[in-house]
């Protein structure tokens, strides 16, 4: 990356927009979504900007451009439409040590404005470092279609309830609680417009001390990912990586795969070729220990979790400790496993029963009394 994406706080801060025409108005619409104090610096303002000033949503500065104008500003947008004025404003703002965006002049920009999907307080920013604005808008369109229009309301409710969750939900169950809120029944209810029902379910769960499924049996997910092929991960495998608190992996899996996980998830290397490989029993003990802590645990191996004999023994040891196992093969591994199952003398599984059998296999308990 040549630019680091970051959100800049605007509460109690000024944003200066140099210019009084359409380009400046576009920046005014963008910054007008925030709570910043907007200063419009130009001799004359167009009708839209004058209306913004009249409504008390901006301040008009019609004096000279100097360091005092820019001092302490959170950011400066230069959009006068005149190359000479833009260059002068840029130089003064930089002298005042402000971060500057000059419209249509990327080489003069400390800041680049992204395409934004606004579900306040949820905000998604899409940037291409100026190389593909059209692409950024296309991505924005796809996200606009996927994210519920009322998503911000659920996020705001979660913010209001965080103190209550901290008081009533044990620390070990909070991540599972929020996963349920944003990925379970409350999210589905909220998205279809039943906000009151969703809010009541969330508050009832807080009063009970956690999400309805927060006390479920501990599970370890076993992902089969061929070395050097993170693009073969299934959607379920990616979801498990993003949910995981602890990820155990071999050295055959590089940074590209682990980049898919949460940044704060703990990564534990089990070694590989040329390394000291953790023995099978030692691996099982590590997995059991983390699962008993209430952590969401993922083990990433290179072989199909159905066929790897070492993992079969590991899962058996875990089952004896009451830990559920969820094998998640890669797409090609799953195909091979299904083909092997169908080639046996067992009765053929029809389309209606195939899904049920697969789900049962993926979530079965191994060796639990």
User: 29: part of which helix (H) or strand (E)?
Assistant: helix 22-31
Computed from CA positions of residues 312, 313, 317, 318, in that sequence, does the dihedral angle turn out positive or negative?
A: negative
pLDDT attached to residue 164? 97
In the chain, count H helices and then E strands.
15, 12
pLDDT attached to residue 357? 35
Closest CA relative to residue 126, chosen from 34, 262, 5: 5
pLDDT attached to residue 361? 35
pLDDT attached to residue 339? 47
User: 273: part of which helix (H) or strand (E)?
Assistant: none
How far apart CA 67 and CA 65 sit, in angstroms, is 7
How far apart CA 256 and CA 260 sit, in angstroms, is 7
Residue that the structure tokens 């909070």 belong to:
174
Structure pTM? 0.63
Closest CA relative to residue 157, chosen from 200, 118, 116, 214: 200
Residues 204, 152, 22, CA angle at the centre, nearest 5°? 170
How far apart CA 22 and CA 28 sit, in angstroms, is 9
Q: What is the DSSP string of 32-89?
A: TTSSPEEEEESSS--HHHHHHHHTTS-EEE-S---HHHHTT-SEEEE--S-HHHHHHH
| Cα separation values, 42 from 47, 60, 168, 252, Å | 13, 8, 54, 59
pLDDT attached to residue 253? 72
User: Which residues lie across from 77 on neighbouring strands?
Assistant: 17, 101
pLDDT attached to residue 133? 86
Q: Spell out the per-residue pLDDT of the chain, length 369, in tens.
A: 888 999 999 999 999 999 999 999 999 999 999 999 999 999 999 999 999 999 999 999 999 999 999 999 999 999 999 999 999 999 999 999 999 999 989 889 999 989 999 999 999 999 998 788 899 999 999 999 989 999 999 999 999 999 999 999 999 889 889 989 998 889 989 998 999 999 999 999 999 999 886 545 578 888 888 766 777 788 888 888 888 889 998 877 767 888 888 888 899 988 765 555 666 678 888 988 988 887 889 998 877 776 666 667 777 788 788 888 888 887 654 444 444 544 444 443 333 333 333 333 333 333 333
How far apart CA 101 and CA 161 sit, in angstroms, is 37
pLDDT attached to residue 125? 94
How far apart CA 158 and CA 152 sit, in angstroms, is 10
SS3 124: strand
């Amino acid at each position: 990356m040549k630019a680091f994406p970051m959100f800049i706080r605007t509460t109690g801060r000024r944003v200066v927009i140099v210019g009084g025409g359409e380009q400046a108005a576009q920046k005014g619409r963008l910054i007008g979504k925030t709570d910043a104090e907007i200063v419009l610096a130009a001799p004359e303002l167009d009708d839209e900007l004058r209306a913004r000033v009249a409504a008390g949503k901006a301040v008009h500065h019609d004096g000279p451009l100097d360091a005092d104008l820019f001092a302490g500003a959170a950011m400066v947008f230069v959009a006068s439409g005149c190359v000479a004025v833009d260059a002068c404003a840029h130089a003064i703002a930089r002298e005042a040590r402000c971060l500057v965006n000059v419209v249509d002049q990327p080489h003069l920009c400390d800041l680049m404005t992204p395409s934004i999907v606004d579900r306040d307080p949820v905000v998604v920013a899409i940037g291409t470092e100026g190389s593909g604005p059209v692409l950024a808008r296309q991505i924005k369109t796809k996200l606009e279609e996927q994210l519920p229009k009322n998503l911000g309301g659920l996020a705001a409710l979660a913010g209001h309830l965080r103190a209550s969750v901290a008081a009533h939900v044990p620390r070990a169950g909070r991540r599972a609680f929020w996963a349920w809120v944003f990925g379970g029944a409350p999210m589905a209810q909220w998205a279809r417009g039943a906000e009151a029902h969703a809010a009541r379910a969330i508050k009832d769960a807080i009063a009970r001390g956690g999400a309805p499924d927060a006390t479920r049996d501990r599970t370890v997910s076993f992902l089969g990912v061929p070395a050097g092929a993170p693009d073969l991960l299934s959607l379920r495998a990616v979801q498990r990586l993003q949910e995981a608190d602890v990820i155990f992996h071999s050295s055959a899996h590089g940074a590209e795969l682990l980049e898919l996980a949460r940044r704060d998830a703990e990564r534990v290397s089990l070694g590989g070729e040329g390394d000291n490989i953790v023995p099978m029993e030692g691996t099982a003990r590590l997995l059991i220990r983390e699962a008993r802590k209430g952590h969401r645990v993922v083990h990433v191996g290179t072989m199909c979790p159905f066929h790897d004999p070492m993992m079969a023994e590991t899962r058996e040891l875990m089952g004896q400790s009451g830990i559920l196992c969820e094998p998640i093969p890669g797409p090609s591994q799953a195909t091979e496993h299904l083909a092997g199952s169908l080639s046996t003398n067992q009765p053929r599984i029809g389309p209606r029963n195939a899904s049920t059998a697969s789900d049962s296999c993926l979530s079965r308990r191994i060796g639990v009394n």
